Amino acid sequence: MEVNHINPSCPHCGHGDSKTKCVQRVPIFNHLDPSQMNAILSVVRSKIYRRGELIFRAGESSSALFIVNRGRIKIYRLSESGKEQIIRFLGPGEFTGEYALFSETIHESFAEAVEETMVCIIERDDLHSLLLQYPSIALRLLSEFSKRLESVERQTTWFGTETVERRIALYLLECAEQGLLFTLPMSKKDLASFLGTTPETISRKLREFEEAGWIKQRPHRQIEILDQSALANL
Amino acid sequence: MEVNHINPSCPHCGHGDSKTKCVQRVPIFNHLDPSQMNAILSVVRSKIYRRGELIFRAGESSSALFIVNRGRIKIYRLSESGKEQIIRFLGPGEFTGEYALFSETIHESFAEAVEETMVCIIERDDLHSLLLQYPSIALRLLSEFSKRLESVERQTTWFGTETVERRIALYLLECAEQGLLFTLPMSKKDLASFLGTTPETISRKLREFEEAGWIKQRPHRQIEILDQSALANL
DNA sequence: CGCTGTCTTGAAGCGTTTCAACACAAGTGG
DNA sequence: CCACTTGTGTTGAAACGCTTCAAGACAGCG
């Protein structure tokens, strides 16, 4: 695959320091001693994906650990009936690839760059030897996996037990934890897929919330929460 | 907590060999060399829970790895609105406790014995030193976690994209992988919670499937699949 | 600036839930 | 072991929430 060499600090051109930055900003690689860091850096390569490009797709067996350096990736599945279900978004410092990484199975999900995205890549075998050599990194990875499990199970519980209206309200409240005025991290179409509903319903419910005086919608996907408790008590 | 010493091979009475059997039947502990096996056995203790007893509950911070030796455990969450969402069932050889095990958080789910259940327990700190000493076990755990992630994400995708009818059909097909005549592994009430619907709907849909000639319901929760492709093409 | 994809709004339709009542099975205690 | 009690399973009718389809407004990327 061809890579656009847009800026002079592109790691493909030999200025490899951004690779270090990428690895350092990943929580599970924080505060490693120099020997560990060098071991990681020696097996990391990086690659740039353009908007809409797939990092991996369901059905593939080849696998690696993909760390987002800059840009954003969306992970989704296609149901039997062909509908798209968004599992999660990855921003800088977050990683994916875990499924096929340890089990001898194929990918069941798709990973797509939603904007120009630079990714650091550690191949499966390299990762395995790394983890065998530095078990403390394996423990951090286990910690990260268990967090993911919690988060996906919480999503499942919402889907199985809450109405669409409450799911939307709960999602807004979760966003509001980082400030009452925030920007939706995705399009409303994607939000609909993420919350297991349709864009139409998202649109209608947000308008209802606004008419009730609980939120205020602003341009550029910004939302301001005016009444947290009303949303929580739905 | 009091334990009923019902039978003479109870591990609490000093006949500890069933502890070994319990550990050996766990896939991630298969084919270990004797030193690894002894290291595990030295930190394992076992405990018996009666039907309905909780192994852990949401809000608790204490944590350990729980391995089912005999019996069955159900893992569930309570939604904001108080409804029960079953995440999964554990049979002999399967384990749980992963959430609070590696992250410094509290449990978000409940674990309940659905019948008299014997559990082998490895405390958090013991497990950590075990994994640091034997990284290959950590890799197996990672593999198991990634399988779980796949499975929960598949469930989420079903909830978000499929109708209740298709979810039930897909579930039956999954059960049928181990034979066209099988016993439902849980009550229909629990199945409803697992599939994100109500017992009434389960009852009605199974009757519809039966009237269409696709399945046959027999006593004691047995179901026979008569037409797989009809269920798959719903 | 134009085109493509996202967002909004309305009205109709449908799948699923809810409530209530009863049949049935399983576990408990006499 | 039977009767009792408790919980699980079934069935009907009504109500509700959400999706679907269609059409137009808007925004954003090339």
- Assign 3-class secondary structure to chain B: CCCCCCCCCCHHHCCCHHHHHHHHCCHHHCCCCHHHHHHHHCCEEEEEECCCCEEECCCCCCCEEEEEEECCEEEEEECCCCCEEEEEEECCCCEECHHHHHCCCCCCCEEEECCCEEEEEEEHHHHHHHHHHCHHHHHHHHHHHHHHHHHHHHHHHHHHHCCHHHHHHHHHHHHHHHCCEEECCCCHHHHHHHCCCCHHHHHHHHHHHHHCCCEEEECCCEEEECCHHHHHCC
First to last CA, chain A: 50
Q: Backbone phi, then psi, for B47, in 5-degree steps?
A: -155, 150
Q: What pLDDT digit, counting tens, does each position of B146-201 carry?
A: 999 999 999 999 999 999 999 999 999 999 998 999 999 999 999 999 999 999 99
Residue A31: the pLDDT is 80
CB-side neighbour CA atoms (13 Å) of A41: 16
The single residue listed with the structure tokens 């699949």 is: B225
pLDDT above 70 for A1: no
pLDDT digits (tens, 9 = 90+) for A182-196: 999 999 999 999 999
In this prediction, residue B232 carries a pLDDT of 94
Q: Which residues touch B71 (CB under 8 Å, ≥6 apart)?
A: B49, B92, B113, B114, B115, B116, B117, B118, B119
Position with higher pLDDT, A113 vs B82: A113
Average pLDDT over residues B32-58: 90
Distance A165 CA to C9 C1' (A): 18
Q: Tell which wins on pLDDT, A24 or B206.
A: B206
Q: Which nucleotide does the CA of A166 lie closest to, via C1'?
A: D17
Reported confidence tier of residue A12, pLDDT bands at 50, 70, 90: very low
Nearest to B171 by CA among B86, B71, B103: B86
Establish if B106 touches chain A: CB-CB under 8 angstroms: no
pLDDT digits (tens, 9 = 90+) for A211-223: 999 999 999 999 9
pLDDT at residue B102 greater than cutoff 60:
yes
Query: Could you tell me how many helices (H) and strands (E) chain A has, helices first?
Result: 9, 11
- What single-letter DSSP state applies at residue A87? E
Distance from CA of B233 to the nearest CA of A (A): 10
Nucleotides of C under 7 A from a protein CB: 6-11, 15-20, 25-26, 28
The answer on pLDDT for B17 being more than 60 is no
Q: Name the residue with tokens 């509903």.
A: A197
Q: Average pLDDT of B107-133?
A: 93
* CA B2 to the chain's CA centroid: 24
Residue B34 — very low, low, confident or very high, per pLDDT cuts 50/70/90?
A: confident
Q: Which residues of A touch B155 (CB under 8 A)?
A: 156
pLDDT value at residue A17: 55
Q: Which of residues 151-210 of A touch B (CB under 8 A)?
A: 152-162, 166, 170, 193, 195-196
Bridge partners, residue B64, by sequence: B123
CA-based end-to-end distance of chain B: 50
Is there a contact between B111 and B66 (Cβ–Cβ < 8 Å)?
yes
Supply the mean pLDDT for chain A: 88
Task: Round to whole Å and give the CA distance between A56 and A74.
Answer: 11
Residue entry with tokens 């911070």: B61
Nearest to residue A69, comparing CAs of A33, A101, A29, A125?
A29
Alpha-carbon gap: B26 to the closest alpha carbon of chain A (Å)? 16
Instruction: Report whether pLDDT(A77) > 90.
Output: yes
Q: Which of B81, B142, B155 sits opposite A145 (nearest CB)?
A: B142
Mean pLDDT of B47-58: 91
Q: Are B107 and B63 in contact (CB under 8 A)?
A: yes
CA distance B106 to A161: 22
Least Cα separation, residue A48 to chain B (angstroms): 26
More confident residue, B13 or A62: A62
